[in-house]
Structure 1
């Protein structure tokens, strides 16, 4: 089965390149040649090849800064790269390459998802149940990619500003090869984008599998579990704690997903090809899908090389010496690197060529999401404490379980859960958004070694100037960059 998955990814380019056109004038382009497109969707195998291109484009969109920005812009990392200071301090220019590349790569994934969503019902001639599954997978991926964008570009999206401007909702494949400025989409509100994400996930849920025959596919393709997990993450960012608690409840006593006793089995040392996915993963981009040395290359996360910086003393000081997250998952990285020699880095990403499994959603996050949501809706409750204890005790054999009496107020419990999220989910692209959604301050260390607040109106990236120029101003800039 693993060999078949790899072949699907390599076939995806052949299938899609024959049926899709690309243009550098906006987002990405939809199919021009409907005859070729109809051939793509005549069989389940060729349609699945097209679907795999959405998975691959989601990987491409989450390479490099798009993923690592969730951590390197926080106090988890001591940034030493002068080149990266504009990013971490919130001083990016509107024509900076970083927001432009994230924007274009993510919309590329969204556009091919749109092709699947439109073309499979219109042109598909294979098993109807499998057709619905393929559309559901594409809706999950469209929702995932829109949520990535919402957190990065939505003005106040993580701070309850539902009328703030977010993203243009491109829900149909781009038609034609020529951009027409008066047809350009405007930015929808945060509320409208959240609603679209939730609708996509809700519509996808009935037609997705609980599991696949191959365990790798269960953790690397959209399932009912990955929908519930993403919904819980979305609702948490909206501050809808009741719904976040309901969605994360799916994972309580769910036999498909299990916490590993040893964190090294979750993040094994990678030889660069075919690294297993632990049962803790709900959704991940596995190395197998990346195709090893002959296909899609490196993820470009800066951790192993320490080119951007190293793990901060501020973060390391939050652990006991017996905690696996320090003793097992922090190391010195590349011994031959001239960047920050002798300084610590995470070994969650440990392959010297940047070929590792990429965690997108893990079971431990769901435990902590439910704990936080319960504490916010029901106050000090035993289940929230039990879920916190499960994560903390798994990591640290010397940990002594908390009791309800250890917390004076619900806020005390919430603070401790948020600390556990920071310790557990560090370097998995989440911490920045936890800081913003909970009303804390993003900070960076300036040239004098002093922590300074990032301006609050720079908590989001600028809308790329190129996109504003192309639309002749139909897309308006985020307020902090005007």
Structure 2
């Protein structure tokens, strides 16, 4: 069969493939006659023709949307790895551009793999969400109204987390100019053809406004919880949307809103827990959260892995940090901070010493790599709340939240008075705690950029990376050539 070649933007092609990949193989696809074989239905037509004609197929699209988030180049691994290694906590050992050397050394260009990997896969996830949003509107009777409302809310949550990760990598920090800088193209309709490739960049503020609008809508219609711990961890629910809002508002420097959202899922006093929905709380030990039980109430939203559906090789966090040891922990980074004591569980459980070097083993299942990838944990919410409370002058609440996280892993530690006596000192202490608690979970470079801090220099032996100030172009990633070559409005 000879088919006409169509030039399609690779990013859009990914989305089209995802949209049809989860279509079940039913009688409509196997009982073809000669006419059908010679005149095949175009892939792009499968959306309208089949994908919303049964509840099972609609659910297949929802599952496919979550699978797009878990792509190895996006939130299944590489995106988080690049977000961490841009900071000062890791030392590169291999100069391998396929495992993030450009990001580590701040040499990312529009042609670099590190620029293109997250861009394409993030927009694929966004497009998968948009296709569901559009499809549900076009097929109002495909599923019961309550189910449609839930699926729509899940799609808006996925679109929000996709755009948040795009804007924080490829856009200037919101706090630089309250979002007035050019951001990224804001695609809100499902793309089935390359006809709409050309789209100008929205401002950073416009992208954030859309993220928050999606999360507000998602919170309204997402379920309080699901029937199993696995679903509570791997599908969005009300508290997932609230938790993500605390992160978004923290990035915007809107600390009053961080506190307001946090109070919805954090009790007034210790032990801090969520009173409604999934009853989120810190586990008594952090170790099982990463080693034996990936679906505790501490894990608000995670990317699941199974033997038949996992992220392996150079996109796997376990492979990069713990198996192939592409990066060791920087002795001059948080590893060398005197307040991170040798008896701290996060050190005894998650740091592996080999010879003179230390490696992160938070992702410890290396063959096969079955560690879930945590995207939102309750510990982060407590630290988001603590930072916002400190910046608003509520030092007592901020210190209590900080102590909840620290004492979970180092029960006898007492912060010196100088570390918590003033708002500035307490914020610095909380930022150190974030570096310890969230190490290897993809937070460090964003914690630097949202606070308009210089990315520190780092290096060992013959490999080094310079410091990068907020005024330098390397402070954010460039839009990749794959987009520049197909979008005439950039």
- Aligned 8 A contact 2:351 2:361 in 1: yes
How much has 1:312 moved relative to structure 2?
A: 1.7
Structure 1 residues 360 and 80: alpha-carbon distance in aligned structure 2, compared to 1, 3 A threshold: same
- Aligned 8 A contact 2:180 2:205 in 1: yes
The separation in 2 between residues aligned to 1:284 and 1:208, in whole angstroms, is: 17
Of the structure 1 ranges 147-156 and 393-402, higher mean CA displacement relative to structure 2 is found in 393-402
Aligned counterparts, 1:1-150, within 5 A: 13-15=21-23, 32-33=44-45, 37-60=48-71, 61-83=74-96, 84-125=100-141, 126-150=143-167
Unaligned runs of 5+ in 1: 1-9, 20-29, 270-274, 333-339, 476-482
SS at match of 2:201: coil
Structure 1 residues 89 and 406: alpha-carbon distance in aligned structure 2, compared to 1, 3 A threshold: closer
The separation in 2 between residues aligned to 1:387 and 1:295, in whole angstroms, is: 36
- Aligned 8 A contact 1:157 1:166 in 2: no
The separation in 1 between residues aligned to 2:303 and 2:61, in whole angstroms, is: 17
Is residue 448 of structure 2 the alignment partner of residue 429 of structure 1?
A: no
The separation in 1 between residues aligned to 2:416 and 2:222, in whole angstroms, is: 38
Residue equivalent to 1:348 = 362
Residue equivalent to 1:336 = none
Structure 1 residues 238 and 466: alpha-carbon distance in aligned structure 2, compared to 1, 3 A threshold: same
- Aligned 8 A contact 2:76 2:373 in 1: no
SS at match of 1:233: helix
The separation in 2 between residues aligned to 1:460 and 1:92, in whole angstroms, is: 9
- Aligned 8 A contact 2:310 2:369 in 1: no
The separation in 2 between residues aligned to 1:445 and 1:347, in whole angstroms, is: 21
How much has 1:209 moved relative to structure 2?
A: 0.8
Match of 1:367 among 382, 387, 390: 382
The separation in 1 between residues aligned to 2:466 and 2:235, in whole angstroms, is: 41
Match of 1:195 among 193, 200, 209: 209
Residue equivalent to 2:289 = 266
Is residue 180 of structure 2 the alignment partner of residue 163 of structure 1?
A: yes
The separation in 2 between residues aligned to 1:412 and 1:159, in whole angstroms, is: 22
Unaligned runs of 5+ in 2: 1-17, 29-41, 268-273
Structure 1 residues 147 and 17: alpha-carbon distance in aligned structure 2, compared to 1, 3 A threshold: farther
How much has 1:31 moved relative to structure 2?
A: 6.8
Is residue 226 of structure 2 the alignment partner of residue 212 of structure 1?
A: yes
Match of 2:342 among 321, 333, 338: 321
How much has 1:244 moved relative to structure 2?
A: 1.1
- State the Cα deviation string for residues 76-100 of structure 1 (Å, max 9, x = none): 1122222344322321121112211
Is residue 310 of structure 2 the alignment partner of residue 300 of structure 1?
A: no
Aligned counterparts, 1:387-402, within 5 A: 387-400=401-414
The separation in 2 between residues aligned to 1:100 and 1:165, in whole angstroms, is: 19
Residue equivalent to 2:34 = none
How much has 1:221 moved relative to structure 2?
A: 0.7
Is residue 276 of structure 2 the alignment partner of residue 257 of structure 1?
A: no
SS at match of 2:109: coil
- Aligned 8 A contact 1:365 1:425 in 2: yes
SS at match of 1:470: coil
- Aligned 8 A contact 1:156 1:162 in 2: yes
Is residue 406 of structure 2 the alignment partner of residue 409 of structure 1?
A: no
Structure 1 residues 356 and 82: alpha-carbon distance in aligned structure 2, compared to 1, 3 A threshold: same
The separation in 2 between residues aligned to 1:248 and 1:111, in whole angstroms, is: 30
- State the Cα deviation string for residues 157-214 of structure 1 (Å, max 9, x = none): 45345111111011101143x446xx61011100000001001111111110111111
Aligned pairs, number? 433
Structure 1 residues 240 and 200: alpha-carbon distance in aligned structure 2, compared to 1, 3 A threshold: same
Residue equivalent to 1:244 = 258
Of the structure 1 ranges 146-155 and 56-65, higher mean CA displacement relative to structure 2 is found in 56-65
- Aligned 8 A contact 1:72 1:88 in 2: yes
SS at match of 1:277: coil
- Aligned 8 A contact 1:231 1:247 in 2: yes
* Root mean square deviation of aligned Cα: 2.6
Of the structure 1 ranges 232-241 and 61-70, higher mean CA displacement relative to structure 2 is found in 61-70
How much has 1:38 moved relative to structure 2?
A: 5.0
Of the structure 1 ranges 344-353 and 222-231, higher mean CA displacement relative to structure 2 is found in 344-353
SS at match of 1:98: helix
How much has 1:448 moved relative to structure 2?
A: 5.2
How much has 1:265 moved relative to structure 2?
A: 1.1
TM-score, normalised to structure 2, is 0.82
Structure 1 residues 443 and 85: alpha-carbon distance in aligned structure 2, compared to 1, 3 A threshold: farther
Structure 1 residues 406 and 97: alpha-carbon distance in aligned structure 2, compared to 1, 3 A threshold: closer
Structure 1 residues 118 and 49: alpha-carbon distance in aligned structure 2, compared to 1, 3 A threshold: same
- Aligned 8 A contact 2:325 2:359 in 1: no
Is residue 245 of structure 2 the alignment partner of residue 227 of structure 1?
A: no
Residue equivalent to 1:479 = none
